[in-house]
Each structure stands twice: as structure tokens, then as C-alpha cells.
Structure 1
Amino acid sequence: MDKLPYLFILNPNSGTSIGKKAEIIGQVIQNFAEKSGNQATVLFTKERGHATAIVRENLAKTNWKAIVAVGGDGTVNEIARALIGTDTPVGILPLGSGNGLARHLGLPLTLEGSLKRIFEGKIITIDSAQLNDIPFFCIAGIGFDAYVGYLFSQQSRRGLATYVQVSVQSYWNYKPQSLRLNGVDTQAFSLSFANAGQFGNNAWVAPQASLQDGLLDVCVIKPFPKWYGTSLAYRLFTKGLKNSRYIEYRNMTELSVEMDAPPVIHYDGEPMQLETNFIKIKINPESLRVIV
């Protein structure tokens, strides 16, 4: 009996160098699949949102073993949102600039290692989450992280170095925001809704978060003195935020946020300007199958 085929969806705009190597990476995937006795179809995205359309166009055409996101967290999001509640698992070839979900899952970060895991790994079921009508799988949020994400998206160069540069430049002029969290007035430097533990690049905003506990870890970074920023950044990359007096965590299945004006948000690394000042976030337990 023939093995079921895999569908790989490659985003040429992910990460720092995929665009120049997209065709080569596609060929490597084909060759690796053939050598391991598997079938692979590789399709390329052309614009933002295209990966979701590709999944929906192809999901019913073939009984796929898995549909694999080749790119970063944004590409994973586009593909996984079309697989919520289905039996078809998502696979991840983490070739983005942050790879937060892949890092949380402990997936290999090399092309060969991650391909081997796609064909030999096991399937688990994880939670997904939703901000208004926007699905997310890693982290969503508002505040400083969303502001930096918006500025980062406008840069011609990707990667950690650019992200750090934008963050530092933005930090000194940024002011905490006023909001109502579940009806309670709150001042927040940032507010994160964590399904997984990190933004990417091992920046752990909620290292205790689990993808399988049916809960969101809500992280409130309260206003702090400007001089504390270096310590906060160090704690972020050493899983030490929980020990800071300026950090508050809550476990929730759903929550609401209201602001005076529509905010910029981010979801799985993608910034977005909302058109409403009211946000509702909820967890969707055991809703996505993933190869790990």
C-alpha cells in the first residue's frame, strides 16, 4: 500500500534568506522525501494569506499525511488555521526569523533535521487560541511587543539583529498603555496571551506555558523604571520574568480587553491594526494536530 503524500507549503518571504533559496529548498525537500520513500508536493506562496488559501484548495483533493509549513510562525499560522478541528496534522520546517512555536515544541532547527522529524516524528494534539476572530497558536499581545512588531514588519532586513535594533530604538519613547482587563483598569507596558512559551529566538515570555493544558498564560508587564529595561531583557532570554516584581501572570480560558482606541496587536509574530477597541481572547483546547 502506497504511503500517503505530504504537502509542503513554502513561503519565500520568511526568515532572512529563504527568498533567494526557495527553489533549492523545494528541491531538497523533494529529494529527501524520495530517498526516505515518501511522496511530497511543494507549493509556493505568493502573498500574505496565500498559504491559507492553498490549504483550503487542496485539503479535500487528497488524503494528505500532513501539510507542512516551510517558514516562520506567520506561515505556520496561515496553514494551521485552516487545519483547526481536522484530522490532518501540521508539520513545521522552521525557516523563519524567530520560530517560536518550533522552539517551544523542541523541533530541530536545521533543514535536514526538521525534514527527518516530519517523516519520522509522532503526532500530538495541542490547543489553539483566538483573538476576536484571529486564530493564533504561539503568542498574541498588545503593547510594546506589538508596537515593535509593527515597526519590524516595515524593515527591509529581517532577523534577530534587526529586531533588537528596532526594539532598542523604540524603547526610550514608548509609554505604557491604559486598558481594562476583564473590566479592571490596568496600566501595562505589554500584555501577552501565551499559548506557547516564547515569542521566538528563545525570548521566553511565559516559560511555564503548556500547549496542552487548556489554558492561556496571560503575562502583564507593568510599568517600570527605564533603567530596568536591561534587567527585563536579560530575564526574558533566561526564563526569569516570573521572578520580577513588575511581572504578573494569570491562567485563563478566556478574557476581555478594552482600550480607548483600536490598538495595534500581534499574533504569532504578525502585527495588525485592529478596527475595534474591544478584544476577546479564548483558548480552544485540543484543536490542532502537530508533528513533533
Structure 2
Amino acid sequence: MRKIIYLVNPKSGTSKKGAVQKLIELKTAAKGIHYEIFPTTSTGIYDDLVEKIEQENITDVVMVGGDGTVNQVVKALKECNINFGIIPMGSGNGLAYCAGIPRNPLRALDIIFDGTASYIDAFLINDQFSCMLSGLGFDAQVAHDFANKSARGLLTYTQQSLFQYFKAQPYQFEIVLDNFSFYTDAFLVCIANSNQFGNYVTIAPKASLKDGLLDIVVVQKMNKARLPFAVLRQIRGNNMLETLVENVSKKNVLYFQAESLTIRNLKHAPLHVDGEPRPTEEEYQVKILPKCFKLIMPAV
């Protein structure tokens, strides 16, 4: 028998949560499924919920929020024997959209009820858990600025992106892979498990949630006027996924896969983890966590 806990982030995104909560109550009750609804915690600590899941045989935890909500909840509860679901209500919703979960709450609920739970990957960047996309440089600076704005949503994010574009300067990195390393001056380095930043902006078009590999995108130093076109080519999937990193000095965008890598952050570029700003460090050890947790996705 299914037992669902819904965790609702009252602050994520721009949408009203009251109507969505009423929809959840109505549709879940109509299915005859036992459920409870709780708010998310600002601390990301869910020790009491872990105990409740174990004692009451909870089968599913559904996150009503954005990528930051998903990160915190999965990090706290991934050792529990449960399925995770998402009703996307954030500003980006990168993991949800990559998994085929739509923004419409009613359709997302249908997937919770009728979808299939299967294991997907996550990764660690040093000791920090990430289940969709983390990055250093330009996109991280946007995340830092966005976090300080009172208004949320796509419009605010777009405004901050444009503002940062005119200010952006490349950072210096050393990328260390198995038997190979290279230096690069780059506007950003993306580490992707899901294929996108969110809002269907697919920075890593070939990324899979369950292939046991991370997609790495390095947008290297170039004339600022060429930067939007180079990024657009990457988003459209025009850049081939490389099996080996070759001709580093001749390419605007590097796109490759790895199970693990080291990033030496030589100029202290800012960091974001699943869209949330984090303090920067001088070096990052990055590694895949294959088959880390079960996510409810549309049935094939």
C-alpha cells in the first residue's frame, strides 16, 4: 500500500502554493492513497522525517518546489527505501524537465500516481551532493546574484544573466582527467547529470540521468561578441560529444564525459550546486554516484 509524504517549499518559484496543495489533497484522496503534507525546512535537516519513514513504512516522498528543494530533500533521505517524486514549482526545474516531468501540477501528479520509479545517478563535488547540475564561473555568479533578489522566477533570472554577461571575465582552471590534464581560461565549467540549467536550456544535450557518466561543458575564453553564439550552438546540440579532449586551444566549447575528474579553481571562480550558491574552494574532486536514488518518471 502506498503512503505518500508531500514536502512543499513555500518560497520556491513564483506560483501560488495554496491552489496546488488543494489539488494534491483532492487528487490523492480520490486515488485512495494515504498521504500527509509538510513544509520543507530551511536547514535541509529531516532527521524526524527519516524516523517517520522507517516507522510508518512511507513509500514515496514528493517534493513540491525547485531544484534547491530537490537537492536538500534527496540528500537527506536518499538512504531511505523510498521513491522520490517531483511537482516542479521552482524557477528552473532542471531535473524535473530532464526526467520528462511537466510544469503543469495536474500532469505532474498523474506521473506520481501512474509513473515508474527507476534509479538515477547523482554526484559529489568534494563532499557536496548534487543530483542535476553544478558549475563554476558565469552561471554560478548568476546563481549568487539571483539568490539575493527578492523577486524570483524566469524574468529575474534572465535579467541577472544579461547583467552578468556584460561583466563576465574568464577564470583559470586546471582540469585533471585519467591520464590527461589541461589548463583553460573559461567563462564557465558545467558538471551535468541532467541535461539542462532548467527551463529547457539544454547545456549538455547528450546527458543521461542513468548512464553512470557526468557530462562536462567548458565554455572557453573567446571574444565576448562570439560568446552567445557559441553557447547557443551547445544548447542546440551542434557540438559533438568528444570521447577524448583534443585541440583544446582551437575550440570555443569543450564537451566530454567522465566518471570522475579534478578541477583546480586557480582564480577562485564562484560555485553553484544544483542552482544554489555555495562558497568557493581551490580544488574540487568530482565523482559520479551511480544509481543513487529512485525517481518517479513518466512510464515508458
TM-score (norm 1): 0.91
User: CA 1:150–1:25 in 2, change beyond 3 Å: closer, same or farther?
Assistant: same
1:162: which partner in 2?
A: 156
Q: Is contact 1:218-1:252 (8 Å) kept?
A: yes
1:59-114, CA deviations, whole angstroms, 9 ceiling, x for partnerless residues?
A: 32321121111001111111111233443111001111111111101112211111
Distance in 1 (alpha carbons) for counterparts of 2:65 and 2:48 = 15
1:239-288, CA deviations, whole angstroms, 9 ceiling, x for partnerless residues?
A: 445599411112111111112354421111111113x3111110011111
The residue identity in structure 2 corresponding to 1:25 is: V
Equivalent in 31, 37, 50 of residue 26 of structure 2? 31
Instruction: Give 1:221-240 correspondences, 5 Å limit.
Output: 221-235=219-233, 237-240=235-238
Distance in 2 (alpha carbons) for counterparts of 1:251 and 1:232 = 19
2:78: which partner in 1?
A: 84
Q: Does residue 204 of structure 1 match 2:202? A: yes
User: CA 1:54–1:168 in 2, change beyond 3 Å: closer, same or farther?
Assistant: farther
1:218: which partner in 2?
A: 216
The residue identity in structure 2 corresponding to 1:201 is: N
Q: Is contact 2:262-2:286 (8 Å) kept?
A: yes
Instruction: Give 1:70-149 correspondences, 5 Å limit.
Output: 70-149=64-143
Give 1:58 shift: 3.0
Equivalent position SS for 2:96: helix
Equivalent position SS for 1:82: helix
Distance in 2 (alpha carbons) for counterparts of 1:207 and 1:100 = 12
Q: Is contact 1:55-1:79 (8 Å) kept?
A: no
Q: Is contact 1:197-1:208 (8 Å) kept?
A: yes
Q: Is contact 1:93-1:115 (8 Å) kept?
A: yes
Equivalent position SS for 1:206: coil
Q: Which moved more, 1:118-127 or 1:262-271?
A: 262-271
Equivalent pairs counted in the alignment come to 285
Identity of aligned residues (%): 33
Distance in 2 (alpha carbons) for counterparts of 1:287 and 1:252 = 17
Q: Does residue 284 of structure 1 match 2:289? A: yes
Unaligned runs of 5+ in 1: none
Distance in 2 (alpha carbons) for counterparts of 1:187 and 1:48 = 35
1:49: which partner in 2?
A: 44
Distance in 1 (alpha carbons) for counterparts of 2:111 and 2:40 = 23
The residue identity in structure 2 corresponding to 1:277 is: E
Unaligned runs of 5+ in 2: 242-249
Q: Is contact 1:262-1:278 (8 Å) kept?
A: no
Q: Is contact 2:205-2:235 (8 Å) kept?
A: no
2:275: which partner in 1?
A: 269
Q: Is contact 2:172-2:267 (8 Å) kept?
A: no
2:14: which partner in 1?
A: 16
Q: Is contact 2:50-2:80 (8 Å) kept?
A: no
1:25-81, CA deviations, whole angstroms, 9 ceiling, x for partnerless residues?
A: 32321111001111111001242425x456435332321121111001111111111
Distance in 1 (alpha carbons) for counterparts of 2:47 and 2:267 = 31
Distance in 2 (alpha carbons) for counterparts of 1:136 and 1:226 = 30
The residue identity in structure 2 corresponding to 1:172 is: F
The residue identity in structure 1 corresponding to 2:272 is: H
The residue identity in structure 2 corresponding to 1:8 is: Y
Q: CA RMSD in A?
A: 2.0
Equivalent position SS for 1:197: coil
1:189-230, CA deviations, whole angstroms, 9 ceiling, x for partnerless residues?
A: 100111110010111110101111111011111112111133
Distance in 1 (alpha carbons) for counterparts of 2:143 and 2:273 = 10
Q: Is contact 2:136-2:272 (8 Å) kept?
A: yes
TM-score (norm 2): 0.89
User: CA 1:149–1:35 in 2, change beyond 3 Å: closer, same or farther?
Assistant: same
Give 1:236 shift: 5.2
